[in-house]
Amino acid sequence: MSYLIVLPCMFAVYVMVGRLGLSRIGFTACALLLTVVMAEYRWFEPGVDAVIAACLTMALANISAWLIEQIMMEDMPAEELQKKHEQQLTKFRMGKFCSRQMHDFAVSPRDSVFAIGLINHGDWPKLHVEIQNMSSSERQGFYANLNYSSISERALQEVINVHPKDADAHVLMGHVKLCLAKRLGLRPGSKFNEPVALAIGQAFKHFNLALRNNPTDPEALCGVLMAKGFTGLRAEHIMKSLKQLLDADPTHLHGVIAAARFLVHSTELANSFVSLVETSVDGRCESTVAIARIIAHIECTGLVENGVNNSLVIADVYEQLRCYKRETASLGNWQRGISDNVVAYMLQLIGDVDESKEYLDKINGLVSPYPWQINSAA
């Protein structure tokens, strides 16, 4: 028997175990131990047969345990059932955060392990100094790429209890709650169940508390914009938040890309989106306008599916590219990274191999299509 047959078998079992909410590490350890036992006692032929048998045996055991638990829960008193549900919910909240469907729009995410460690160990003063010393571009990258699922809510709440007027602490908690809502099933326009409604309500609460302490905080404004988008509010509500954000920071490309993800689904909305960006920026950062127009072309014209065949679109893309090159010095390093990613993505779509190579080199050859993949999957 070919050894390759073990790969799809193990993958299928691995996925199934994850869907049942079971521990994959424990499953793997037990499956390997069972493989050794089966091979040692010659219950199955050592090799592929033993591995497959062990995996399937473990899978059957876990499924049986899960089914027995479901049957027992049917006769469980209401109070005990609610307690069990809360325990499972807490376990689920600690699961791995899928940045591709949430916040991460960047090309080269900033290493944020240091920040998470400082929060979880209660060393907020040190982290606060680090954040205060960041430029606006670095601060965008920090909040856009932070792995919020690794942050201890309890530790962060203790920070807020000690520093109730610290805008950054509230922005962090707002994103933690927003990501929790999305892990619980929040999608734009979807109906809320009670846990999702509670989480999204808390996200809005903390973003608004941050704005109460600092009314022009770009990251708090961006948080409100994203929360509105995932809540499924109408375009005019998201437009209002985008205008407030660009009034405060005309170089906030993270907010522009996030807004496009929720707004640009038709030619009419694309025109409104670009017009709002142009009016809000009002000559303060033409690079932002150029990137917004390129994003609108990507989102609105079905380029991914159909290829580019509109000469007017291509002409405008190159016009915006010239503008971006001319004005790129006004952006910080993180903003240039995300802009180069957008440009490289667009150039690949229109088939400009030579020009796209220049931008691919700048981003180490890795184009991130996250914002546009999200739109097609939503």
Alpha helices in 193-285 (DSSP H): 194-213, 218-231, 235-248, 253-263, 267-281
Rounded Cα distance between 143 and 151, Å, is 13
Q: Does the pLDDT of residue 241 top 90, yes or no?
A: yes
Q: What confidence score (pLDDT) does residue 198 get?
A: 92
Mean of pLDDT over the chain: 77
Residue 183 has pLDDT above 70, yes or no: yes
Model pLDDT for residues 69-87, shown as the tens digit of each residue? 556 544 445 445 444 444 4
Q: Kindly tell me if the per-residue pLDDT of 91 is higher than 50.
A: no
Contact status, residue 250 vs residue 285, Cβ threshold 8 Å: yes
pLDDT at 192 over 90: no
**What is the distance, to the nearest Å, from the Cα of residue 91 to the centroid of all Cα atoms in its chain?**
20
**What pLDDT sits at residue 206?**
96
What pLDDT was estimated at residue 273? 94
Tens-digit pLDDT profile for residues 272-311: 999 999 999 988 899 999 999 998 888 775 544 444 557 7
Helix (H, G, I), strand (E, B) or coil at 87: helix
Picking from 220, 197, 218, the residue whose alpha carbon sits closest to that of residue 332 is: 218
Is pLDDT larger for residue 349 or for residue 279?
Answer: 279
- Residue 203 pLDDT more than 90? yes
- Model confidence band, residue 26 (pLDDT cutoffs 50, 70, 90): low
pLDDT for 336 beyond 60: yes
